[in-house]
């Protein structure tokens, strides 16, 4: 095959292999107990994004320059089965990520349309670190309250929720949702749903997603109520009232990001009713990002060796 055909095959195959190896590493680390050290949402997010983001980084900063520098443009290689299978695996992974992204976009669009204010809808204002946020109160049976949208975010709440909660409880509920908006949790959720990696097919990927969701709820609770006992009690009371409404209304459609869920409710309420603990050590995301940016520089001296590995991959099995 010509250089123009071999080049994309090599990049796809490298992405597929790196993706598989990093996904396996995350699974092994998870089973070894790394979950106990993931104390905040950013830490969970970083681990979940590792296979896809790490694979893309290695391909673009190590494999691509090594291949372009050392591969003759006139070379005609016959790819072996390992290269073809790895490239096909990468195509499947990338295609599945696009499919999940498309489904998430359609679901968000449908929810946004269904959450448009109906006749008699009310509009309220709540404050957050990003400023005033408008809350649309809509006429639906489900006790829905949450953030809709990834780029253009807004808060929606069912009229039954606003009727069941008093003013202080509503302020804390809306402050909780505003905390999700300030953290851009909807955008992060979209990233998690669309990551093109093998981890999305495994139980570990689902567990990481659930742990991230639970962590974002706890952190939004803390940012909304702080150390004020009155606010914490009001938010806990509102959570219980919405939970009762959810049980009374029966099965409901999926809630948007930040919507009140029954899962983990007891833990959230107990945490709110205890004195606020000192904040835990933050996940060293900037340090890890700095280390990742050093990878291309450290790989420059071994580009020739990387190219030899690429040649072995191309020739393997033929």
Full strand arrangement of the beta sheet holding 122-128: 122-128, 131-138, 154-158, 145-148
The pLDDT of residue 114: 61
The pLDDT of residue 73: 78
pLDDT in tens, 18-69: 999 999 999 999 999 888 888 889 889 999 999 999 999 899 989 999 988 8
The pLDDT of residue 248: 76
Sites in the chain below the pLDDT cut of 50:
118-121, 127-131, 254, 258-262
Task: Using CA atoms of 197, 200, 205, 210 in order, give the dihedral in degrees to the nearest 10.
Answer: 130
Q: Is the pTM of this model over 0.75?
A: yes
The pLDDT of residue 260: 44
The pLDDT of residue 20: 95
Which are the contacts of 149, defined by CB distance < 8 A and separation ≥ 6?
108, 112, 186
> For residue 142, how many other CB atoms are within 10 A of its CB?
17
CA 276 to CA 278: how far, in whole Å?
7
pLDDT in tens, 283-305: 555 666 677 677 777 777 888 88
The pLDDT of residue 128: 42
């Amino acid at each position: 095959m010509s250089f123009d055909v071999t080049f994309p095959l090599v990049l796809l195959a490298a992405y597929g292999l790196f993706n598989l190896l990093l996904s396996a590493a995350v699974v092994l680390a998870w089973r070894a107990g790394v979950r106990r050290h993931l104390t905040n949402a950013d830490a969970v997010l970083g681990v979940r994004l590792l296979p896809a983001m790490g694979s893309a980084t290695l391909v673009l900063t190590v494999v691509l320059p090594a291949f372009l520098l050392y591969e003759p443009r006139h070379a005609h290689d016959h790819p072996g089965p390992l290269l073809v299978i790895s490239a096909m695996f990468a195509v499947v992974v990338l295609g599945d990520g696009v499919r999940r992204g498309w489904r998430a976009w359609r679901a968000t669009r449908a929810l946004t349309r269904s959450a448009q204010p109906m006749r008699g809808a009310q509009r309220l204002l709540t404050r957050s670190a990003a400023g005033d946020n408008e809350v649309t109160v809509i006429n639906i049976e489900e006790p829905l309250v949450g953030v809709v949208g990834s780029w253009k975010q807004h808060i929606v709440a069912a009229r039954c929720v606003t009727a069941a909660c008093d003013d202080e409880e509503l302020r804390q509920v809306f402050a909780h949702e505003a905390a999700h908006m300030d953290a851009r949790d909807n955008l992060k959720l979209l990233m998690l749903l669309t990551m093109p990696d093998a981890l999305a097919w495994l139980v570990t990927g689902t567990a990481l997603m659930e742990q991230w969701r639970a962590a974002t709820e706890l952190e939004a609770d803390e940012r909304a109520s702080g150390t004020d006992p009155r606010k914490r009690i009001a938010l806990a009371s509102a959570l219980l009232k919405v939970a009762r409404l959810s049980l009374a209304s029966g099965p409901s459609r999926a809630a948007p990001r930040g919507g009140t869920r029954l899962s983990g409710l007891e833990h959230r309420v107990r945490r709110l009713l205890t004195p606020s603990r000192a904040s835990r050590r933050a996940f060293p995301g900037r340090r890890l990002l700095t280390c990742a940016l050093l990878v291309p520089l450290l790989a420059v001296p071994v580009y020739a060796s990387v190219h030899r590995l690429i040649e072995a991959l191309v020739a393997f099995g033929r």
